[in-house]
Chain A
């Protein structure tokens, strides 16, 4: 937790005022942490609670807050008043736009070559597949949050619907991945419509809570409906994907045998990599195309001003519903991919944290910017990998990062997408034109 001083309005001048602020912050920190950090409780073997003191940790935390608030205060005085728009020099601006123009193709080419470059490094390939899964989820949620401006906290529900659709259809009926993939998308979209139809009338934050509740309901039903879903034990033995019917295994009918090359388990990983890349690019392509259609324009208009939208005769309910269903469908695709990649799914993969992670990717990426979302997914999942050894601190840092990003750059770190079309200047309309009866 950072020092409470982060937002004192009046800049402290002079060393005395600085020390005073830092001292107050340290005092607040001392009270806050006194019991929670200073005392550690644990249930003993007989169920009896015991406790021991940790005054060393407490003292160091308070010292960190004291030092931290001095540093932050000095930094603030050094940077100057915040809030003023910083002007970017034109030379830098043109350089940035040049980079911006070539960044996307360069990234795409690099991504295509990843399995070639890192063919022997299974770890990197696995990580790349994970990143691409989140890129896809981020792009899917971007339709809902970034384009239409609907805060969806239960996106993981559609991911779960997709994963369980494929898992259950494949294990119970033996249907192949390529039949189930569209089905998973359709089912997720269907659930999206089912949820969206009644609740999309609600205001932004009500909608957020309802979608959160929906995500939890889906998870709880999966846990408790044991006959169908296997409950907390999940669904195991989900078939691996096939290369359009040709299995990627060591059998005589397998992919390697038919091509006459030596079998390697990496083939499947590479195939999975290109599969998720294709799915993600499909998501991106559909989104970009949709944005140019009237429906996409309506989404953007809805994000900017819902009342104005309604005044212009746009049916907000259907507009929201299509955004919701489209986002849900991509979530369903990603879920089916997740199921086939893991071979095992359980409700634990579909918690609220997952929804928040995808949402954080979209927000960090700048709400609506496709490239921003992709880079944010890379940064987020990469950052999570850095904390692999420190599992318990991971979500703590994640939460802090979310708060800090909101304070620092609420419109996203990487990019921000303005509406595709907008009036650059207000048009003056003569009163003759708006006379009654002449419109």
Chain B
């Protein structure tokens, strides 16, 4: 039981990170109708930028951890968001009215570009950082010595995710931009006729998705203490699985799907085999698509002729 509780905590933390990435997939799919294959690599870039900002701040002599964290968060969100914007501009916008496989293939190309760009720019080796946020709480100690621990970093990941989700939800449901996004999701031509700047709205979608992925990258860096140039691929597929599981196009669904994938992966590793945890995640993707193509919270897709 204690083991179960500990895995539950770990799974929820991992799921929060997946959920943040999944939101980027689901938003873009909802509006543009394409799988942004490069989104996992945006997450990786976010992690790298966070790492480099950390290094600079520390070498500048800053010691106040909250200040460092805040600066790193803002810098990595800003720069990664610019990456998202640029990629949309270069690789996706010219293809918006092209044949249906073109944006997907362009996205795959972009994913290769980003992966190998960071390999060339930062080297192929894993980049570790020392733990910044240490300490934690012991929730429960069983007689046989097993301890359920809740570390400060885990608390931070979950709280940051919740805060971001609240802000994001407000953005989508209460602001002009959110209304434009919802309008574009329903009907781009009609939205354009009614004075919505579709190009700008789509750009902003990519910017917001990339910023959330940057936060996920920072969380990953703090939680696991390392980044490498190849981490975007697998994390990207898993986050996409999460988006599909939650129902692609649905924002709460993406978060729910992220948590589900995080839990499934953690429990699979804990009770079955660590080697096959990715196989489990990918199999879930296939199973979900076969039996529940609309996901948990998605709307059934109407085929238009």
Contact = CB atoms under 8 A, between A and B. Distances in A.
Contacts of B94: 6-7, 407
Contacts, number: 194
A205 B117 contact: no
Nearest to B34: A205
A271 interface: no
Interface in B88-113: 89-91, 93-95, 98-106, 108-113
A31 B289 contact: no
B79 A35 contact: yes
Nearest to A2: B90
B222 to A, nearest CB: 14
A208 B118 CA distance: 25
Given A36-B48, A198-B290, A220-B279, A7 B90 contact: yes
Given A42-B123, A395-B116, A410-B99, A403 B90 contact: yes
A315 to B, nearest CB: 17
| Main SS class of interface, B | helix
Q: In the complex, which of the residues A204, A213, A360, A363 has the most CB atoms of chain B within 10 Å of its own CB atom?
A: A213
Contacts of B86: 1, 4, 28, 32
A281 to B, nearest CB: 28
B4 interface: no
A285 interface: no
B214 interface: no
A49 interface: yes
B102 A399 contact: no
A34 to B, nearest CB: 7
Nearest to B78: A31
Nearest to A206: B289
B285 interface: yes
Q: Is the interface of A mostly helix, strand, loop or mixed?
A: helix
A220 to B, nearest CB: 5
Contact of B285 (A213, A401, A403): A213
A148 interface: no
B105 A406 contact: yes
Interface in B53-89: 53, 55-56, 59, 75, 79, 82-83, 86, 89
Nearest to B305: A307
A205 B117 CA distance: 26
A274 interface: no
Interface string A82-108: 000000000000000000000000000
Interface of A: 1-2, 4, 6-7, 28, 31-32, 34-37, 39-43, 47-49, 51, 149, 151, 153, 198-199, 201-206, 208-210, 212-214, 216-217, 220-221, 223-224, 307, 352-353, 356, 359-360, 363, 392-393, 395-396, 398-403, 406-407, 410-411
